[in-house]
Amino acid sequence: MRKVSESVEEMLLDYLDGNLTKADKEKVEKNLQEIPAWRARYEELRSANSVLAEIKLEHPSKNFTASVMSKLNLYQAPRSFSLWNSVRVLAGVLVAVGITTVLLAGGLYDNSNTSIDLNQIEIPKQLVKTPLPSFEFSGKLIVNIIIILNLAIAWIVLDRAILKPFFQRRMEAGH
């Protein structure tokens, strides 16, 4: 049997709820007599409606109110890093990143290179037969890495300690 359209289903539900105008009601009743698909869907909806009418108010245990009242003063707000403290940490991290970036852009770290020569370490000659390597470190590269790490920390603080608790509290407060 061909299914009825969504708009017909809407109309049948409104008919069941008694929300139709007199003219629409008559139109639905006429179609119910003439169109088998309408009649079949109406019967399904009417049957579901009668089952849904079984939904009744449910009641908690008899000592429910006493139990709530006895726990009222035991309530402790969930301990968490406060939102303002998180904002302060985030601000601190961002200020540190900002200052470092300005210093970096100003060329402060351009010439701060250093190298570690492993040959300078005092090791008995019999243990080392070939010359050891030396490593060059660029101050600029290290500062760039520190800035990236700080930005990652700032992102985590923003997500976990600020945005997540903020939306969770809003949801729990029911606003």
Partner 1 sequence: MTNDPEHSRIERILAGEQHLYAEMVDKYKSYAYTIAQKILQNRPDAEEATQDAFIKAYHHLKGFNRESKFSTWLYRIVFNTAISYKRKNKQQFQSLENTFVEYRGEGEGMLEKTDRKKFLNLAMAKLNEADRTALSLFYLQEFSLEEIAEITGMPANTAKVRIHRARLRLADELKNILNKEALTL
CB 140, CB 109: distance < 8 Å: yes
The closest of 44, 50, 54, 56 to 9, measured between CA atoms, is 44
Identified binder of partner 1 from the candidate list 77, 105, 121, 127, rule CB under 8 A = 77
Smallest distance, Å, CB 49 to partner 1? 8
CA distances from 122 to 117, 125, 132, 158 (A): 11, 9, 12, 48
Identified binder of partner 1 from the candidate list 1, 23, 57, 127, rule CB under 8 A = 57
Q: Does 10 bind partner 1 (CB under 8 A)?
A: yes
Using the contact rule CB under 8 A, the part of the chain among 50-58, 88-96, 127-135, 137-145 near partner 1 is 50-58
DSSP state of 162: I
Q: Does 119 bind partner 1 (CB under 8 A)?
A: no
Identified binder of partner 1 from the candidate list 32, 37, 45, 151, rule CB under 8 A = 45
Using the contact rule CB under 8 A, the part of the chain among 22-30, 40-48, 106-114, 131-139 near partner 1 is 40-48
Q: Does 34 bind partner 1 (CB under 8 A)?
A: no
Task: Kindly state the tokens that stand for 24.
Answer: 């629409």
Give the list of residues 6+ apart from residue 109 with CB closer than 8 angstroms, or none.
Answer: 103, 139, 140, 143
Q: Does 59 bind partner 1 (CB under 8 A)?
A: yes
Taking each helix axis as running N to C, give the angle between helix 83-105 and helix 164-173, from 0 to 180 degrees, rounded to the nearest 10: 150
Identified binder of partner 1 from the candidate list 72, 105, 121, 127, rule CB under 8 A = 72
CA distances from 170 to 73, 76, 160 (A): 23, 18, 15
Using the contact rule CB under 8 A, the part of the chain among 54-62, 106-114, 119-127, 151-159 near partner 1 is 54-62
Contact positions vs partner 1 (CB under 8 A): 9-10, 13, 44-45, 47-49, 51-61, 64-65, 67-69, 71-72, 75, 77, 171-175
